[in-house]
Structure 1
Amino acid sequence: MVDAIIIGAGQAGPPLAGRLTAAGMTVAVVERKLFGGTCVNTGCTPTKTLVASARVARMAQRAAEYGVMLDGPVRVDMAKVKARKDAISGRSRQNVEGWLRGMPGCRVLQGHARFESANSVRVGDEVLTAERIFINVGARAAVPDMPGVRDVGILTSGTILDLDRVPRHLVVVGGSYIGLEFAQMYRRFGAEVTVVEKGDRLIPREDPDVSAAIRDLLEAEGVTVRLSADCIRFAPHADGVEVGVACASGAPSVVGSHALLAVGRVPNTDDLGLDRAGVATDARGTITVDDTLRTNVPGIWAMGDCNGRGAFTHTAYNDFEIVAANLLDGDRRSVDDRIQAYALYTDPPLARVGMTDEAVRRSGRRALVGMRPMTRVGRAVEKGETQGFMRIVVDADSQEILGAAILGPGGDEAIHAVLDLMYAKAPYPTLQRAVHIHPTVAELLPTLLGELTPLG
C-alpha cells in the first residue's frame, strides 16, 4: 500500500512524484520502457537535436552567401549526427531516472502496469494499491491500416531516429508538424525528399497563407510536395518502397528508399486494463477527463498526451501543475485557463498562440490585424533569413489580443511576448507602448499593433 501510484515517467509524472513525496506521501512510479517519455526519447529532445545538426549543414551549404568560403562540398556524417542525438537524449533520460530513484519516499518499478481495480495496479507479480492513481502513459505514432502498410518497412517518428545513414529518397506521408520537420531535416542532410499529403494544403489547421508559406520555404530547399493524394498505398519495390499517390496531376506513385508515416498519434491506453477500473475513454482510447484532469473514477487522474487535452511537452507539464495545485495547494487551476500555443520546428520556425484568422472570422468578432513580411524585419534581413511573416489579431472592441503567428527567425521565442500579455489579460496598447531591444524580431510587435487594419 502506497499513498499514490504514477503510471508512466513522462513529463508530468516525475515532477508530480517530487511534489507528492515532498508533502510526505509515499509514491510508486511505474515505467515499462524509457524514462522521460516521448519528449526525451522520441520527441522534442532527439528531434530538435537533429534539427540543430540539419541547420548547421544548411548554413554550411550557404556559407558563401555570407562571405565564408569552405573548401569542398559539405558532407554529413549521419552516424556522428545520430551519436550526438543519442548522447543528449541519453543524458536526459538518465537524469530523469536518477532523480526518481534518488527521491526519498519514491519507489521505482520497471514493468507493465495493468489495473486490477479502481485502486490497484499489477506490475509483474506484484499488486500495488493506492487511494490516488495518476496515468501518464503518453502516446505513440499511429499506423493506420492503409493498403500495403504491413508489407513494407514503414518508418515512424520513433524508428526513424535509429537511422545512421542518410536515405537516398525519403517519402514522408503526412504533411503536418512532425512530417514537415523530418522532411526539411533530411533534405538538409542530403536526401531527396517527397512529402505526400492527403489534403489540398499542408498543415490544414493553420491559416491558408501560413500553409502556403511553409510549402514555399520547403520547396525552395528542394523538397517535393504532393497534395490531394486521394489513394495513398504502399508496395515493396526493388529500390525500396512504392507509395501510391494518385494525385490529380503528376506521377501516380513515388518510389523511395525509405517511407516515413507521420499521420498522427494514438494514446498508449489499450493495454492498461482501464475497463477493470471503470475508466472511461473515447473511441480512440483517449482517457476522458474534466478540467482538473480527473477521470470519471474518483481517485484516478490522467495527465499528458493520453488525456486528449494537449499534445505537447509544455501542456503535459502544465497538467502536472494543475493536478498539484488542486491537490496540494488548495489553488483552483484548470485546463480551460490554458491558451493554445505551439511551434512547428521547421527552420525558420512557425510559432502560434491563440486563434487563427479563420477562427476569428468564424467567431463573428470585429477584429483588427497587423502583418509584416520578414523582408521588412531588420533582424531577419541581417541574418539572411527573410522567409515568412509575423501577424497579430486583436478584438477591435475589447482590445484583447486574440492570436498571433510568427514564421521567421526566433519566432518561437518572440511569440512569448504576445503569449504572456494574453495571460495577463492586458489590452494590446500595453504591448504597443513597450520599448523592445533592437535589433530583434520581437521589436516589430509594437510596430504591428500601430499598423492595425480591419480583418477582412
Structure 2
Amino acid sequence: MLKVRQRKRNIVASFRGGSETKLRDAGVDTLIGEATFVDEKTLEYKDSGGNVRTIQGQKIFINVGARPAPPLLEGIDLLDRRAVLDSTSIQELDEVPSHLVVVGGGIAPSPSGFTLYFHVNNGDRTVEGTHILFATGRIPNTDSLKPEAAGIDTDKKGYIVTNEYLETSSPSIFAIGDVKGPPAFTHISYDDFRILRSNMLSLPPTRLSTKDRIVPYVVFTDPQLAHVGLHEKEARVKFPNKRIQTAKMPMAYVARALETDESRGMMKAVVDGDTGLILGFSCLGIEGGEIMSIVEVAMIGNQRV
C-alpha cells in the first residue's frame, strides 16, 4: 500500500507540476492561497503566510471545484478519525482495510472497530467494520469565496448558478467545472473551457453552449461501466412524442469477451425509432469505455443505425 500511495502522489505531483509550468510559461501569474469576493470585479487574496492583497479583473472565471461532503452521522465522533474516510483520504491509506464499509446508516464503536446500524424493509440490521468510507456526495468550494458579495446567485447547496453559456448572475463573472454542479467529471471542466474560449476569442456563427451536449463517462470497475447520452427513461421523458426504441446485447455474444474469458455484462442502445439516431448508449463489460467512445463518435456525427 505504501508503494500504491506513493505512485498516486507522484502522478498527482506530475500533473500539478505540468499545469503550473504551462501557466508560468504562458505568462500567467499564479497566486496560491484563499480568495474572497469584495465585489464583482475585486477579490481579496490571502497567501499561506497570512499576507493579504487585493486583486481586480474585468472578467473573473471561477473554477474552484468541490470537496467531499463531511460525514454527518450519529456516533461518528466516537470513532477513530483515521478509520473515517472520504474519496480523498482513502487514497492516503498506508494499509488495506480489513473490512471497509461504505456508509449507509447510523454508527457506534466496537472492539473490532465499529458497528454500523441500518434499517431495511424486514427490520434493523448491523454490520461490523474497521474502516468506513463516506461516499455521500460532494459540496462546492464556495463557502469561503463569498459569492454573494459579487452578486453571484447560488442554489441551496452552494453551487453557482449559470446559464447555458456559463454566465453567472453577475455579468462579468463565469463559472466552470464542478463548482456549478453535477455532473462532476474532469472532462466537463475541459469542455466548459472549450465553450468559453470559443465564445470569447472567436466569432462563430452562433455562440457555443452547454445545451444538449453529449456527456460521456466511465466507472472504472471490473468490468467497466460506460455511458454516453440519454438513458431510456430520460429519453422517454424528454421526447414523449418520439418512438423510443432500445436494443440490448449481452457481452457473452462478443467474441473478444469470450476469448478473454470476461463475458459479464451487456450493451444497451437507446434510439429514435423515426430517425434512427442514437440517443444514448451504455456498456457494462470489458473495455466498456473504449466501446462507448466509438458510439459517441457516431452520435456526434449523426450516424443512423
TM over 0.5: yes
SS for the counterpart of 1:386 is coil
**Aligned residue runs from structure 1 range 191-270, under 5 A:** 196=104, 232-249=105-122, 252-270=125-143
1:244-297 per-residue CA deviation (whole Å, 9 max, x = no partner) reads 122235871111100000011111111102111111000000101111101010
Letter in 2 for 1:120: T
Structure 1 counterpart SS, 2:234: helix
| 1:111 corresponding residue in structure 2 | 33
**Structure with more strand by fraction:** 2
Offset from partner CA, 1:23-78 (integer Å, 9 cap, x none): xxxxxxxxxxxxxxxxxxxxxxxxxxxxxxxxxxxxxxxxxxxxxxxxxxxxxxx1
SS in 2 for 1:326: helix
Cα deviation, residue 144, structure 1: 4.9
Q: CA shift at 1:309, angstroms?
A: 5.3
Structure 1 length as normaliser, TM-score?
0.62
Matches within 5 A, 1:113-192: 113-124=35-46, 125-152=52-79, 153=81, 154-173=84-103
Task: Say yes or no: does 1:89 pair with 2:19.
Answer: no
**Which residue of 2 is the match for residue 405 of structure 1?**
282
Percent sequence identity over matched residues?
Answer: 39
User: Contact 2:87–2:134 (CA<8 Å) still a contact in 1?
Assistant: yes
The answer (yes or no) to whether the contact 1:310–1:316 under 8 Å persists in 2 is: no
Aligned length: 293
Matched, 1:318 2:248: no
- Report the Cα offset of residue 146 of structure 1: 2.3
The letter for the 1-side match of 2:290 is E
Partners of 2:196 and 2:223 lie apart in 1 by 35
Aligned letter for 1:358?
Answer: K
1:289 is aligned to 162
Question: What is the distance in 2 between the residues matched to 1:337 and 1:303?
Answer: 17
Structure 1 gaps of 5+ residues are 1-77, 174-195, 197-231, 429-456
Aligned residue type for 2:32: Q
- Cα distance in 1 for partners of 2:228, 2:25 equals 38
Work out whether 1:426 is the aligned partner of 2:303: yes
Q: In structure 2, what residue type is equivalent to 1:141? A: P
Q: Which amino acid aligns with 1:129?
A: Q
> In the alignment, is the contact (CA less than 8 A) between 2:71 and 2:134 conserved in 1?
no
Distance of 1:292 and 1:250 partners within structure 2? 49
The answer to whether the 8 Å contact 2:117/2:124 transfers is: no
Q: Does residue 359 of structure 1 match 2:234?
A: yes
Change (3 A) 1:407 1:145: same
Deviation at 1:241, TM superposition (A): 2.2
Out of 349-358 and 240-249, give the one that drifted further.
240-249
**8 Å contact kept, 2:98–2:130:** yes
Larger helix proportion of the pair: 1
Secondary structure, aligned partner of 2:13: helix
Q: Which residue of 2 aligns with 1:274?
A: 147
* C-alpha separation in 2, matches of 1:113 and 1:103: 22
2:218 is the alignment partner of 1:343 = yes
C-alpha separation in 1, matches of 2:225 and 2:296:
14
- In the alignment, residue 89 of structure 2 is paired with which amino acid? T
Shift of 1:344: 1.4
Query: Displacement of 1:343 after TM fit?
Result: 1.4
